[in-house]
Amino acid sequence: MVNGASLALAGANVVMQLSRRPVGRAVAESTVHSGSLAHHPVKRTRTTLSYVMVALYGTDEERRELRRQVTAQHRAVRAAPGAPVTYRATDPELQLWVAACMYDGVRDALDLLYGPVGAQFADEVYRQCARFATTLQVPIEAWPRDREAFDEYWREALTRLEVDDVTTRYLLDLIDLRFLPSALARVMGPAHRFLTTGFLAPTFRDLLGLEWDAARQRRFERVVRVGAAVAVRLPRPVREFPWNWCLYDARRRLRRGRPLV
């Protein structure tokens, strides 16, 4: 189920994750600059993709080491005393939301690239995606027991979306790629905004005041349809890039004792 075209959904998925105000504030206000998108965009992207691949396809030992490293980083991310928004990056409830968004992105990518899948395969994917949560600090008992329970959790979780000026500004900068050098942001930003907004559900668009209309939707659907048709026909090593490289690189780092995060 790995396909490089699924990266088109990545921006929207990050926006979803950060649309819970404590999560958004934790990322926007984090002083752990070694993992910051603004300070190290290439490293941050590599780390995120490596997390997905090791969580899904890594061995138990690889996932334990990844979990240990992520936990060590997250312990340093917490709200200052007296801050208006309280958070800590090791909060299992907030991490469950992040993992749920990642699973939602996987099922959206499958629908986009391959169309509806059978119930048995969908169940297998759901069980495997529980690793997004358990490779963080979420106990397996907290992961909804099946897809029906997940849908119930998701509906309730959507009622708790909230952004403020700090998180809105951070997310809009992310959507417009303002963390990149200005010349790159000017060239790539409009396309990234278009795709990110298109992949977001109306609930998230409305939260950030992102403009969308029927004409944009038609253009978006044409782009997605053509892109998906091309992506699934590429030779396997090509269509799986850069996911395949990220798993290879993560395993190489583990063998050499180098950090993943």
The answer to whether residue 40 sits within a structural domain is yes
What does the pLDDT read at residue 35?
57
Please, which residues have CB within 8 angstroms of residue 83's CB and are 6 or more apart in sequence? Answer: none
In a domain, 231, yes or no: yes
End-to-end CA distance of the chain: 24
Q: Is residue 261 part of a domain?
A: no
Residue 217 lies in a domain: yes
How many domains does the chain fold into?
Answer: 1
Distance CA 108, CA 103 (A): 9
- Structure tokens belonging to residue 59: 């061995």
Region for residue 82 given its phi and psi (left: phi exceeds 0; alpha: psi -120 to 50; beta: otherwise): left
More confident of the two residues 235 and 35: 235
Average confidence score pLDDT of the chain: 93
pLDDT value for 1: 65
Within a domain: residue 182? yes
Residue 98 lies in a domain: yes
Q: d(Cα 124, Cα 137) in Å, to the nearest integer? A: 22
Would you state the pLDDT for residue 36?
Answer: 64
Give the pLDDT confidence of 81-91 residue by residue, as tens digits: 888 899 999 99
What CA–CA distance (Å, rounded) separates 37 from 208?
Answer: 20
Q: Is residue 29 part of a domain?
A: yes
Give percent of the chain above pLDDT 70. Answer: 97
Distance, CA of 232 to CA of 93 (rounded, Å) = 36
Q: What pLDDT score does 62 carry?
A: 96
pLDDT digits (tens, 9 = 90+) for 16-75: 999 999 999 999 998 776 556 766 788 888 999 999 999 999 999 999 999 999 999 899
Which structural domain, as residue segments, surrounds residue 122?
A: 4-255
260 falls within a domain = no
What pLDDT does 34 receive?
Answer: 59
Q: What is the pLDDT of residue 39?
A: 65
Report whether 186 contacts 126 (CB < 8 A). no
pLDDT digits (tens, 9 = 90+) for 109-144: 999 998 888 999 999 999 999 999 999 989 999 999
